[in-house]
Structure 1
Amino acid sequence: MLLCVIAIGASAKGFGLPAKTSNTKVILNGGQRVTFARPDGYFAFHNVPAGTHLIEVSSVGYFFSPVRVDISARNPGYIQAALTETRRVLNELVLEPLKEEQYYEIREPFSIMSLLKSPMGLMVGFMVIMVFVMPKMMENIDPEEMRQAQEQMRNSPVSFSGLLARAQS
């Protein structure tokens, strides 16, 4: 026979747990028995046989470590509890939430660098640079050379197959 009384709300003040614990469900052995915490944070399981049992706490917004409870068959009333994750033995059966659960991803604040690093930002940046840099590059070319290059391009027909043949040779 086991009467577990575990305080949930009293020890979790640092996490800002609400005063109401009506949404806190306590599960024994994966659903074999289920109870809800009272408004003061306590709960109880009655007539639990001797052996090893697992107590899990389910509370909206908080994550609790499961507790392994060993009930002695030789010494009636002797109960030993330990956290399953850290294997720390609990002298008092008081559970504290390990962390607050984050259900939503926190949005990053606006940043000019994230805008510039995006593919669209990179394309716009490249085009702006080309608009301002290309005219400066074209100023350095001799006008006579430019005219000759344009005439040569007009006179020789350019085809895709011709470009491929030149690239391979």
Structure 2
Amino acid sequence: MGYFFSPVRIDISSRNPGKVQAALTENKRVLHELVFEHLREEQYYEIREPFSLMSLLKSPMGLMLGFMVIVVFLMPKLMENMDPEEMRRAQEEMRGVPSLSSMLPGRSN
């Protein structure tokens, strides 16, 4: 266990009782002696990657979380720098735009 061997095909003759023939499957070479030698050690399990903060940040959830944190902290700073007159104009424009809730069926205003 833990080693990889080359596959061997063993043919047992029904016409000639007791005649057994072995051959390697990859190159069809006939074997006169059946001696198995391992080709390499086999890894059956994947080695688990250690915890990495960068892999967590590169994941889609990490990217969304990072974006939301930036928005939460930067939006108030942007709103402070906005001119009060400009803010009033933007609010008036938003009053004229129909909201999504008013467009839903079964909703009457």
When the two structures are superposed, what TM-score results if normalisation uses the length of structure 2?
Answer: 0.59
Partner deviation per Cα, 1:65-97 (whole Å, 9 max, x = no partner): 2323568999xxx98643112434546542112
For 1:108, the aligned partner's letter is E
* CA–CA distance in structure 2, aligned partners of residues 142 and 97 of structure 1: 77
Alignment of 1:1-169 (within 5 A): 60-69=1-10, 81-90=22-31, 93-150=34-91, 153=94, 158=99, 160-162=101-103
Query: Which protein is richer in strand relative to its size?
Result: 1
User: What displacement does 1:126 show?
Assistant: 0.8
Q: Tell me whether 104-113 or 133-142 shows the greater mean CA deviation.
A: 133-142
Please state which structure has a larger fraction of its residues in helix: 2
Superposed displacement of residue 115, structure 1: 0.7
Aligned in 2, Cα 1:86/1:137: closer, same or farther, shift over 3 Å? Answer: farther
Task: Give unmatched runs, 5+ long, in structure 1.
Answer: 1-59, 165-169
Identity of aligned residues (%): 74
Equivalent residues, number: 102
Q: Kindly tell me: are residues 82 and 161 of structure 1, through their superposed partners in 2, closer, same or farther at Cα, counting changes over 3 Å? A: same
The residue identity in structure 1 corresponding to 2:70 is I
> Unaligned regions of 5+ residues in structure 2, if any?
105-109
Change (3 A) 1:80 1:138: same
Structure-1 separation of matches of 2:70 and 2:78: 12
